[in-house]
Amino acid sequence: MSFREDFLWGGASAANQYEGGYLSGGKGLAVADALTGGDGIHGVPRTFIAKMPDGTMKKFGNMEEVPLGAEVIVDENTYYPSHVATDFYHHWKEDLALSAEMGFKCFRMSINWTRIFPNGDDETPNEEGLQFYEDVFKECKRLGMEPLVTIYHFDCPLHLANAYDGWVSKHTLEAFKRYAKLLFERYKGLVHYWLTINEININTNFMMNGVHDHISNRQNAEQARYNLFVGSAYAVKVGHEIDPENKIGLMIAHGVSYPYSCDPKDVFAELDDSRHGKWLYGDVQVRGKYPQWKINELKREGITLDKDPGDDELLKEGVVDFYSFSYYSSQAIAAKTDDKESSAGNQSHGVKNPHLQASEWGWTIDPLGLRITLNEIYDRYQIPLMIVENGLGALDKVEEDGSVHDPYRINYMRDHIQMMKDAVEIDGVDLMGYTPWGSIDLVSAGTGEMRKRYGFVYVNMDDDGNGDLSRSKKDSFFYMKKVYESNGEDL
């Protein structure tokens, strides 16, 4: 058996990195709008600028360091890549047409919370924002593409971060519930595929989640994580109630991890790292409860979660229909790391794997790891899977005639799709779709760079905001079109 006839081939994006129009049409500010660009290859991080309680301005490399009471601001003399990004806001018709031309059956995008509720918790929603997405979804349908909609992708409203410490607070959770419910009501019949919270398991995303103090304050970190789980379960439950046709998935960064060696200490280190980094999130959202090891850990550390009555039932009722995840690379985990080179990548906390090559940004390239990942998830949960992000962030060169030759990207795609094919045909994994990341160039989340490109369509925009935003097809565009039109047969 090859790929399903109704396989959802497509591409993926997120508003905070793609949409731009950061104050257009009544939109408010999100945390991502206050993050500067960085320099990934040279290790320069993205930064926030905050107004301190004494009125002075200070720069921070992480929300973690911004003290409560300081206000993260958007400084008018600073360049912020999300403000224009690659301007889907004004190019959506062209981008959807290009995607349909490539043979997409599915277009993954996210809704910007602050386009609907500018402060996150406003009394009434912003109709102009709701209408914008309605128009986009209708156009997707007209072109034969199912929208796959992420409700929350790294765009905590800045007001909720500054005033409520983001997801630590129940106020943010309640605001999210209203926001999610409204989306299901408004887009009933138009959107059938949803993802609740993007990469819920990536701890650096606490920054995007507006949580100030998550490293030294474990209580806050665990409460924010818990609130995210409850918010996701609520969205699944209410989404099913509003339209039983809705298919709702989770979103986990799921790179496979290998023990660095067969030393049982390395094997246990990998097990422990994987259950903290991935399986906890899958278990809660697929099985509907915290695993026992985590309950024991919280007890041991004296952490008590602030639960509301009915939460346990909600977690059980809000289990997902499918397991969706991003896969870029793998990592090796060692018990003793101080004598080994660490590995790069915004999803990786392991050591360098001597058997694998890496991208220019240090992310390992591991196609077989994708087959392993598909098998390990399917063996564990036995529900349909969807790969909602995958791809190679690379430096592209535009030739004089405007063409972009990107054989490195084509090779990456071919090798990974072959592994999907093997997982489906040989291993019997139930895979329902594939939406590679940033199919039209967009801003990198980890580094804020434009030059770290994933797309099959090039967008003329650089790291400093120069460029006319025109779109052009890379060689990989034609390759992906061939793959999609042959339902993954012609690699």
Q: Is 103 in the site for ligand BG6 (CB under 6 A)?
A: no
> Sheet containing 48-51: which strands, arranged edge to edge?
57-60, 48-51, 71-73
Question: Tokens representing 181?
Answer: 């419910």
Pick the catalytic residue: 64, 146, 199, 449?
199
- For the stretch 183-200, what's the b/e string if a residue is b when 16 or more beta carbons lie within 10 angstroms of its beta carbon? bbebbeebbbbbbbbbbb
Q: Which of 210, 239, 288, 393 binds ligand BG6 (CB under 6 A)?
A: 393
Q: Is 334 in the site for ligand BG6 (CB under 6 A)?
A: no
Judged by CB under 6 A, the stretch of 94-102, 130-138, 416-424, 445-453 that binds ligand BG6 is 445-453
Residue 16 Cα distances to 29, 113, 144, angstroms: 10, 10, 25
Q: Is 452 in the site for ligand BG6 (CB under 6 A)?
A: yes
* Alpha-carbon gap, residue 441 to 86, rounded angstroms: 7
* Residue 328 beta carbon to ligand BG6: minimum distance, rounded to whole angstroms: 6
Q: Which of residues 288 and 455 has its CB atom nearest to ligand BG6 in the complex?
A: 455
Q: Which of 49, 175, 377, 445 binds ligand BG6 (CB under 6 A)?
A: 445
Q: Which of residues 13 and 162 has its CB atom nearest to ligand BG6 in the complex?
A: 13
**Phi, psi torsion values for 71, nearest 5 degrees:** -115, 120
Total residues contacting ligand BG6 by CB under 6 A comes to: 15
Q: Which of residues 208 and 211 has its CB atom nearest to ligand BG6 in the complex?
A: 208
Q: Which of residues 303 and 395 has its CB atom nearest to ligand BG6 in the complex?
A: 395
Q: Which of residues 220 and 326 has its CB atom nearest to ligand BG6 in the complex?
A: 326
Q: Which of 7, 8, 9, 14 binds ligand BG6 (CB under 6 A)?
A: 14
* Residue 444 beta carbon to ligand BG6: minimum distance, rounded to whole angstroms: 3
Q: Which of 47, 274, 326, 330 binds ligand BG6 (CB under 6 A)?
A: 326
| Beta-carbon contacts of residue 57 (< 8 Å; ≥ 6 apart) | 49, 50, 51, 73, 75
* Annotation marks residue 199 as catalytic: yes
Q: Which of residues 162 and 390 has its CB atom nearest to ligand BG6 in the complex?
A: 390
Task: Give the Cβ contact number of residue 308 at 10 Å.
Answer: 11
Answer yes or no: are the C-beta atoms of 254 and 338 closer than 8 Å.
Answer: no
Q: Is 444 in the site for ligand BG6 (CB under 6 A)?
A: yes
Q: Is 198 in the site for ligand BG6 (CB under 6 A)?
A: yes
* Residue 12 beta carbon to ligand BG6: minimum distance, rounded to whole angstroms: 8
**Phi, psi torsion values for 194, nearest 5 degrees:** -135, 150
* Residue 199 beta carbon to ligand BG6: minimum distance, rounded to whole angstroms: 5
* Residue 454 beta carbon to ligand BG6: minimum distance, rounded to whole angstroms: 7
Closest CA to 421 of 327, 357, 490, 485: 490
Q: Which of residues 17 and 285 has its CB atom nearest to ligand BG6 in the complex?
A: 17
* Annotation marks residue 222 as catalytic: no
Closest CA to 167 of 213, 209, 219, 118: 209
Return the SS3 of 295.
helix
Q: Is 239 in the site for ligand BG6 (CB under 6 A)?
A: no
DSSP codes joined into one string, 226-293:
HHHHHHHHHHHHHHHHH-TT-EEE--EE---EEESSSSHHHHHHHHHHHIIIIIHHHIIIIISS--HH
DSSP codes joined into one string, 164-195:
H-GGGSHHHHHHHHHHHHHHHHHTTTT--EEE
* Residue 302 beta carbon to ligand BG6: minimum distance, rounded to whole angstroms: 32
Judged by CB under 6 A, the stretch of 164-172, 176-184, 231-239, 438-446 that binds ligand BG6 is 438-446
Burial (CB count <10 Å: 0-12, 13-18, 19+), residue 382: exposed
Interface contacts to ligand BG6, rule CB under 6 A: 14, 17, 198-199, 253, 326, 346, 389, 393, 437, 444-447, 452
- Residues with catalytic annotation? 199, 389
